[in-house]
Structure 1
Amino acid sequence: MASIGPGIVPQPLMQLPWRVILLVLAIGSFGLVVLYSAAGGHVQPWAFSQGVRFLAFLVMAIGLSRVPESFWALSAFPIYAVIVIMLVGVEALGAVAGGSQRWLDLGIIRLQPSELMKPAIVLTMARFYEILPAAEIRKFGAIWPAAVLIGLPAGLVMLQPDLGTALMITGCGVMVVFLAGVPLRLFIGGALALAVSAPLAVNFVLHDYQRNRVLIFMNPESDPLGTGYHITQSKIAIGSGGIFGKGFLNGTQSHLDYLPEGQTDFALATMMEEWGLMGGVFLILTFGALIWWGIGVSLRAKSRFGRLTAAGLSGTIFLYVSINMAMVMGLAPVVGVPLPLISFGGTAVMTFMICLGILMSIDRESRRVQRW
C-alpha cells in the first residue's frame, strides 16, 4: 500500500498538532458515550446534538489555529468590550432558564456571553501586561486597572446570578496577573482583604440558594433531601461505581432519576457509576496531557503575550476540570461549572474549542518562528 506523502496531504493539515486533536477526539467521544447512557441508551436528546456541536466547533478550532497570534493581541480589548456589551444585553434582553438570566437568544443559537468571557479575560490581561512597561510591573498601577477589567464582567455575571462563572472569570484573570510577575505582597494583601470580606459577601451579596450551597458544602447530610440532595446522590453514584464501575448502561442513579443534572454538571458522576475509578483516571490523564501540552506551548512562545495567553488558557482548562471534579465529589460547593466535552451544553464546548484554537495558533506561530 502506498503511503500518504506530503504531496497528497495539504501542508496546513500536516502542521496541525494531530496528537492533541486525537486527544480531544478521545475525550469528546467518551463524553458522547456518557450522554448516550444518561439518556437510557438513546442518542436523543443529548448525544446527537452534542456530537454535531462538538464536530462543528472542532472544525472552528482548527480554523482558529490558522489565525496569526498578532490578531489575538490586537483584538483582545475589542473582544473584551463586545462581550461586556453582550453581558449588559443579557441584563436587559436575556432569556431566563432555571431561575437565572444568562442567555441571549439569537434565533439559531442561545449564546451565554459569560462563558465567552473566560478566554476573553485571559486575552485581555495578557495584552494589558504585554503593553505595560516592565518598570511599572511592581507598582500599584499594574494592579488596579487589572482589578477593574476583571471585576466589571465578574460583577455583571454575579447579577445573572451565576456564582460559578463569576469565580471562573476572576480565577482566569488573576492567574494571568500572577504569571505576569505582579509582586506577591499584592496578592497576599488581596487574599487578606478577601478573607475579611468573605463573611459579608456570604451574608449580604449571595442569593439565598447560593448561600445555602456554600453552607451545605460543609455537611451535605444535614439536608439530604433539600439543598444537599445533589451532592449526596452524586457521592452515592461515584461510590457505587467502585474501581471498574457497574458497566455501560447499567447505572441506576442516573437512569432512575436519583441523580439530578446527570447530563450536565454531574455528568462525571454518571460516568463514574458505570465506568468506575478507571473512567475517572482516564479523564484525569487525558485532560492532564492536554493541559501539559498547553504549558509547553506557553514555554515555547516567543512573545510575552503568547506566553501569558497560552499559560492562562491552559489554566482555564485546568479550572474547568478541577472545579467540576471537586464539586461532583463534594470537595467544593456546587457552583454550576461543567466538565468540558463531557457535560451537555453547546456554549461550554464552544468556549473550550476557542481555548484550543488559540493555543494551536500560538503553537503554530512559535514553530514558524523557530523554523525561520
Structure 2
Amino acid sequence: MNTTAIIEALKKYDFSFFGICGAIFLMGVVNLYSATHASSSAHMASLYKVQIGWYAVSLLGGVVISFIQPKNFFRFSWLIYGVNVFLLILVLFLGHKGMGAQRWLVVGPVRIQPSELMKMSVILVLARWYAKTDPDKAIGFRELMIPFVIAFIPALLTILEPDLGTGLLILLIFFVVTFYRKLKWKTIMVLGVIGIISGGVMYQFGLKEYQRKRILTFINPTADAKGSGYNAIQSKIAIGSGKVIGKGFKKSSQASLNYLPENHTDFVFSIFNEEHGFVGSLFLISLFLVLFYRFIWLAQSVPRIFESIVVIGIMSIFFWHTFINMGMVTGIMPIVGLPLPLMSYGGSSLLTFGFCCGIATSISNSRNLF
C-alpha cells in the first residue's frame, strides 16, 4: 500500500471511539495517581503505571480488532462464546481467590477476569441469533427461550464466583439487546411480572447475608454507619466536599487519609468529585454522553441488523457500568463492585472496553473503509 492509499484510508478511519475513550482514560489515570500517590504502600502508589501499561495493551488490541471485518465477528461468535464459558468454568475450579471471591485466572504475573470478557461474547452470540429472524417482526416469549439461556449460563457462572454485580450486568445487557430487537407488548408485560417475582425470590433465597445487607444499607446507610454503611457515607462526604470547583489536584482528604476504601476501583468517581467538583464531574459525564450518542448514531447508520445489535450491546456495557457506578457512589443505588469505564483501576475491564471500542470502530469503518 503506497503513502497516498494509507493517507486516504486514515481519512476514512473512524477515530471517534478511541478518541473519546482516550480522553476519559487520561482523566482517569491522572485521578488514579491523585488517589494513590499518598499511599504508604509502594504497590498502591505505582498502580497508575500498571494502569497505563494495561491501557497500552487494550489500545493495541482494540486497534488490531478495528481492522477485522465485522463478518468475522459473526462467523466466530459461537467459538468466542464457548471459549469464554469454558474459562468461567475453569475459574470455579482453578481461579485465584481474593477479597472473598474467586474471579481470576492467573498466568504468571498476569491476572485475567473472564467474566469481564464474557460481556462482549454474549453480545456477539445474541446479535447473531437475533439477526437470523425477520427484523420487522416482533419477538414473542417463546422465541426468547434460547437467547435467555445464552445469557443466563455465563450470568449464573459469574454469580457463583461470587460476583453478583457482573452476573446481573450480563442479564441487563441481554434485556437491552432484546428490547432493541423489538418485543411484543404481551411479552414485555410477562417479562416484567417474571422480573418482579424473580427479584423477590432472589432476595429471599439467592442472596448471601452481606448482599442483603448492602440493599438495606442503601435504604438507610446511617443504620450501620461504622459497618456496612461506612463506604456509602464516606463517598457522599467526598462528593459533597468537592462543591462547585473541587479542592484541587491531589487534595482529596478522603484519599490521602484513607477514609474511603477502594478509592482506586469502585469509588474513583467520589475522589474525582472531591478534587474537581461539580464542574469537573459535569465535564466527565458529558464525555460519556457523547460516547453513548456515537454508539446510538452508529447503530442507526449501519445497514445490517447484526452490526446494529452489536453496537447497541456495546453501548449497554458502557452505559450500565457508568450509570450503576455513579449511582452507587452518589447513594441512589446499592453498592456493587462495578468499575467506572476507563476510570477505575483494572486490567481486565480495560481490555474489555478497548476491545469494545475496536469492534465499534470496525463496524463504523465497514461503511466506507473495507
Q: TM-score range by the shorter chain?
A: over 0.9
Distance 2:148 2:16 in 1: 37
Distance 2:154 2:233 in 1: 32
Structure 1 residues 250, 8: closer, same or farther in 2, change over 3 A? farther
Determine the structure 1 residue equivalent to 2:149: 148
- 1:147-199, Cα deviation, whole Å (9 max, x unpaired): 11111111111101111101110111111111111213212212212212322
SS in 1 for 2:105: strand
Determine the structure 2 residue equivalent to 1:259: 260
Structure 1 residues 342, 141: closer, same or farther in 2, change over 3 A? same
Q: CA deviation at 1:18?
A: 2.6
Determine the structure 1 residue equivalent to 2:36: 39
Distance 1:245 1:128 in 2: 48
Residue 25 of structure 2 corresponds to residue 28 of structure 1: yes
Residue 79 of structure 2 corresponds to residue 78 of structure 1: yes
- 1:295-344, Cα deviation, whole Å (9 max, x unpaired): 11111111110111111111211111111100110111111110011100
Q: CA deviation at 1:50?
A: 0.4
Distance 1:140 1:8 in 2: 50
SS in 2 for 1:121: helix
* Matching residue's letter, 1:347: S
The higher relative CO (CA closer than 8 Å, separation ≥ 6) is in 2
Distance 2:137 2:335 in 1: 39
* Matching residue's letter, 1:37: S
Q: Is 1:143–1:182's contact at 8 Å kept on the other side of the alignment?
A: no
TM-score (norm 2): 0.94
Distance 2:135 2:37 in 1: 57
Q: Is 1:130–1:305's contact at 8 Å kept on the other side of the alignment?
A: yes
Distance 1:221 1:300 in 2: 48
TM-score (norm 1): 0.94
Distance 1:105 1:27 in 2: 28
Q: Is 1:234–1:259's contact at 8 Å kept on the other side of the alignment?
A: yes
Structure 1 residues 138, 32: closer, same or farther in 2, change over 3 A? closer
Deviates more, 1:244-253 or 1:44-53: 44-53
- 1:27-77, Cα deviation, whole Å (9 max, x unpaired): 111111101101126893211110111122112111111000000011111
Q: CA deviation at 1:100?
A: 0.3
Q: CA deviation at 1:221?
A: 1.1
How many residue pairs are counted as aligned between the two chains? 365
Determine the structure 1 residue equivalent to 2:181: 180
Structure 1 residues 196, 367: closer, same or farther in 2, change over 3 A? same
* Matching residue's letter, 2:140: K
Distance 2:173 2:17 in 1: 22
Residue 266 of structure 2 corresponds to residue 269 of structure 1: no
Distance 1:249 1:65 in 2: 36
Determine the structure 2 residue equivalent to 1:281: 282
Distance 1:259 1:69 in 2: 43
Q: Is 1:136–1:142's contact at 8 Å kept on the other side of the alignment?
A: no
Map residues 149-228 of structure 1 onto 2, 5 A cutoff: 149-228=150-229
SS in 1 for 2:168: helix
Determine the structure 1 residue equivalent to 2:60: 59
Distance 1:23 1:130 in 2: 29
* Matching residue's letter, 1:16: Y
Q: CA deviation at 1:13?
A: 3.6
SS in 2 for 1:96: strand
Distance 2:140 2:317 in 1: 26
* Matching residue's letter, 1:201: M
Residue 19 of structure 2 corresponds to residue 18 of structure 1: no
SS in 2 for 1:253: helix
Distance 1:93 1:110 in 2: 12
* Matching residue's letter, 2:180: L
Stretches of structure 2 that go unaligned for 5 or more consecutive residues are none
Deviates more, 1:189-198 or 1:306-315: 189-198
Structure 1 residues 10, 53: closer, same or farther in 2, change over 3 A? farther
Distance 2:137 2:251 in 1: 59
Q: Is 1:102–1:160's contact at 8 Å kept on the other side of the alignment?
A: yes
Q: Is 1:233–1:253's contact at 8 Å kept on the other side of the alignment?
A: yes
Map residues 106-145 of structure 1 onto 2, 5 A cutoff: 106-133=107-134, 137-145=138-146
Q: CA deviation at 1:108?
A: 4.0
| Structure 1 vs Structure 2 CA RMSD | 1.9
Q: Is 1:142–1:182's contact at 8 Å kept on the other side of the alignment?
A: no
Stretches of structure 1 that go unaligned for 5 or more consecutive residues are none
Q: Is 2:96–2:104's contact at 8 Å kept on the other side of the alignment?
A: yes
Residue 329 of structure 2 corresponds to residue 366 of structure 1: no
* Matching residue's letter, 2:364: D
Report percent identity of matched pairs: 35
Distance 1:35 1:267 in 2: 7
Deviates more, 1:12-21 or 1:353-362: 12-21
Q: Is 2:324–2:333's contact at 8 Å kept on the other side of the alignment?
A: yes
SS in 2 for 1:143: helix
